[in-house]
């Protein structure tokens, strides 16, 4: 039985909606469930998942669609309404609230940055309004077209503003962590990153080596694509070069289009400030092939290594990652060693998060994959990341530990600092208590896993 209920004019934070969806799916007699705003892209997701009924088809972007499939669908719909009553929008008690950009600026006339987190169909419109008001903009939303992204970044450049994103999940602006970011001290290293977890890993490693971050500017994962041409990256480099608090620039990205890489590297050569470039996997003078190498070059020192066992074991490695760039870095380590036949899965990719929270928010999503890996006789080592910081789950290590069974070697890295809400040392201790080998960095974890199967 498939049922949809449309709640007109009702809006809740997408994370709150996803958590209600997860609770509905755990009910007896429920095969699948989802709660989404009735935007065209969301209705397409519901349709592809076999969860869109005629009532949901008629929903508008101002409506909330509750979709349930299963023998107990009617009862689950009633449960959904009760759960929604208890769901609260994010925000601190007593924090200022407004229903429009104009209203927000009346409440905070001194504001100079707007964070856009609305369905992708509306994100470009809202970002343009903010830029026209003279605000820097971070676009957390995804599903923004490439044409809109390029147009927004050109408008920002013309106005002397930064447009971070779209799909920008991490930033550190003047000591303020935005979205998924870690608690790191202020310092003189400025980071420009086309990767959220890449920025988190490098900023956390710098902090653990005694350094600090002036600004961490996220530019969105597509910025160094040939169709965007590094518009956001070049603007961020300009901003950091003018910033008196920044003495060194670190650039992080997966390998960009060759012509874009050339343009960016030429710009950095003209800078009076030294730079470190990590185009993941690319080696050369001044280039850092891994995120760990980028942090170490920026600091001029090595991250303290953990004492971990050596040796050889049979079997393959199953990498199960929350961070896409961390997953790519692990794959890179294996390729550089000439190892093949191992599997690395980015569980934060769109294929795994449609209608579900990101695994950094709800790490239980990974546990099903971990359980399958633990039961697979061909798998000798399970390799995972644990990412801390604002916005992430309160205790991801203990959630992961629930899925672990004796008989498998589990290797992990923990991206974060002692000042993070989860406290890195506590997370490391919880993992080690569960028998996990915890390395000093994501690259170190991948190298350890590779040594155990090579």
Instruction: Provide the whole-model pTM.
Output: 0.87
List the structure tokens of 255: 């390998």
For residue 37, pLDDT over 70 is answered with yes
State the pLDDT at residue 88.
Answer: 53
Give CA 115 to chain center in angstroms: 16
**Residues sharing a CB contact under 8 Å with residue 129, sequence separation 6 or more, in sequence order:** 101
Beta bridge partners of 215: 173, 190
Which of 329, 326, 317 has the alpha carbon at shortest distance from 347?
326
Output the furthest CA–CA distance in the chain (Å, rounded): 67
**Beta-bridge partners for 414:** 386
All domains in the chain, ordered by first residue: 2-86 (3.30.70), 96-167 (3.40.50.720), 169-303 (3.40.50.261), 316-453 (3.40.50.261)
Q: Are 152 and 116 in contact (CB under 8 A)?
A: no
Closest CA to 51 of 112, 5, 102: 5
Write the pLDDT tens digit of every residue in 173-189. Answer: 999 999 999 999 999 99
Whole-number Å distance between alpha carbons of 380 and 418: 31
Which tokens go with 80? 């959904």
Q: Omega before 166 cis (within 30°)?
A: yes
Specify the pLDDT at position 367.
Answer: 93
Please report the pLDDT score of residue 90 as a whole number.
Answer: 47
Alpha carbon separation from 96 to 92, 93, 115, 206, 368 (Å, rounded) = 9, 9, 15, 34, 40
For 103-144, how does the pLDDT look when each residue is reduced to its tens digit (9 = 90+)?
A: 999 999 999 999 998 878 889 999 999 999 999 999 998 889
The pLDDT of 198-209, averaged and rounded, is 98
Q: Does position 299 have pLDDT exceeding 70, yes or no?
A: yes
- pLDDT of 208 reads 97
Nearby residues of 256 by Cβ (< 8 Å), 6 or more positions away: 194, 224, 225, 230, 264, 279
**Per-residue model confidence (pLDDT) at position 174:** 93
Lowest mean pLDDT among 34-48, 65-79, 125-139, 258-272: 34-48
Which among 93, 140, 138, 91 is positioned nearest to 111, based on CA atoms?
138
Query: pLDDT per residue over 303-334, tens digit each?
Result: 988 776 665 566 899 999 999 999 999 999 99
Contact (CB, 8 A) for 120 and 142? yes
Percent of the chain, pLDDT > 90? Answer: 77
Cα 94 to Cα 91, 97, 108, distances in angstroms? 8, 9, 14
Indicate the average pLDDT of the chain.
92
- C-beta of residue 27 within 8 angstroms of C-beta of residue 13: no
Rounded to an integer, the average pLDDT of 51-64 is 93
Secondary structure (3-state) at 189? strand
- Asked if residues 170 and 181 have their Cβ atoms less than 8 Å apart, the reply is yes
- Over residues 347-355, the mean pLDDT reads 78
**CB 118, CB 96: distance < 8 Å:** no
111-144 residues labelled b (16+ CB within 10 A) or e (exposed): eebbbbebbbbebbebbbbbbeeebbbbbbbbeb
Looking at residue 49, its pLDDT comes to: 86
DSSP letter assigned to residue 88: -
pLDDT tens digits for range 241-251? 999 999 999 99
Cβ contact 149:127 at 8 Å: no
Say how far apart CA 43 and CA 49 lie, in whole Å: 10
Mean pLDDT of 47-65: 92
Pair of tokens at residue 332? 């890179």
In the prediction, which pLDDT does 312 show? 59
At 217 the pLDDT is 98
| Nearest by Cα to 277 from 209, 214, 194, 197 | 194
């Amino acid at each position: 039985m498939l049922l949809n209920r449309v709640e007109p004019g009702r809006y809740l934070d997408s994370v709150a909606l996803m958590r209600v969806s997860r609770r509905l799916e755990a009910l007896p007699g429920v095969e699948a469930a989802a709660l989404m705003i009735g935007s065209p892209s969301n209705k397409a997701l519901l349709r592809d998942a076999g969860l869109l009924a005629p009532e949901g088809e008629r929903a508008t972007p101002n409506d909330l669609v509750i979709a349930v499939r299963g023998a107990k669908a009617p009862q689950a719909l009633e449960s959904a309404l009760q759960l929604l009553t208890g769901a609260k929008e994010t925000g601190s008690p007593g924090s200022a609230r407004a229903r429009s950009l104009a209203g927000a600026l009346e409440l905070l006339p001194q504001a100079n940055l707007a964070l856009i987190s609305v369905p992708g169909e509306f994100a470009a419109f809202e970002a343009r309004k903010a830029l026209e008001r003279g605000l820097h903009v971070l676009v957390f939303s995804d599903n923004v077209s490439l044409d809109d992204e390029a147009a927004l970044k050109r408008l920002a450049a013309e106005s002397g503003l930064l447009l971070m994103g779209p799909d920008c999940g991490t930033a550190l602006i003047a000591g303020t962590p935005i979205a998924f970011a870690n608690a790191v001290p202020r310092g003189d290293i400025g980071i420009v990153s086309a990767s959220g977890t890449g920025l988190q890993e490098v900023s956390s490693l710098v902090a653990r080596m005694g350094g600090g971050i002036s600004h961490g500017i996220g530019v969105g994962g597509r910025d160094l694509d040939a169709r965007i041409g590094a518009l956001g990256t070049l603007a961020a480099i300009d901003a950091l070069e003018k910033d008196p608090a920044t003495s060194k620039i670190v650039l992080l990205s997966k390998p960009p289009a060759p012509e874009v890489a050339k343009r960016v590297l030429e710009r950095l050569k003209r800078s009076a400030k030294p730079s470190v470039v990590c185009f993941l996997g690319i080696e050369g003078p001044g280039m850092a092939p891994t995120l760990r190498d980028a942090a170490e070059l920026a600091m001029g020192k090595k991250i303290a290594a953990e004492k971990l066992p050596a040796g050889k074991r049979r079997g393959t490695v199953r990498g199960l990652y929350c961070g896409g760039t961390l997953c790519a870095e692990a794959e890179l380590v294996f390729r550089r060693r000439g190892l093949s036949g191992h599997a690395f899965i980015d569980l934060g990719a769109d294929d795994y998060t449609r209608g579900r929270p990101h695994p950094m928010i709800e790490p239980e999503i990974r546990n099903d994959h971990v359980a399958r890996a633990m039961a697979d006789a061909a798998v000798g080592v399970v390799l995972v990341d644990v990412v801390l910081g604002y916005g992430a789950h309160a205790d991801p290590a203990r959630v992961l530990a629930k899925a672990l069974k004796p008989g498998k070697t589990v290797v992990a890295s923990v991206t974060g600092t002692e000042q993070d809400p989860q406290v890195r040392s506590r997370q490391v201790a919880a993992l080690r208590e569960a028998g996990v080998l915890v390395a000093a960095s994501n690259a170190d974890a991948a190298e350890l896993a590779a040594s155990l199967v090579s």
